[in-house]
Amino acid sequence: EMKYTMLRPPKHFVAFSGLLEGRVFFETDESIPLVRVRDLYTREVELFKDLGTSMLYSACIVIFWLHMLIGWKKVVPADAMQIPKD
């Protein structure tokens, strides 16, 4: 079941002023009203603490990476892409 938390969302969905502090998706300015949001961080921790799920996710990422690598070799020389050869 999804859990919820309260935070102050940044104006443009990214808190550029907090990037160096590790504070990307929320503001500390108290003039911004609190908003109820889904707690995705806690959900990720719960999901990936299982070794089987983590291994499956990692395997899927490697397979996708290989798919992109092999596909790139086919796409670059394809005439339909109109990529100059020189």
CA distance 47 to 50: 6
* Six-digit token string for 16: 């550029």
pLDDT reported for residue 53: 95
DSSP E strands in the chain: the ranges are 4-7, 35-38
pLDDT reported for residue 85: 78
pLDDT truncated to tens, each residue of the chain (86 aa)? 889 999 999 989 999 999 999 899 899 999 999 999 999 989 999 999 999 999 999 999 999 999 999 999 888 888 888 888 77
pLDDT reported for residue 34: 96
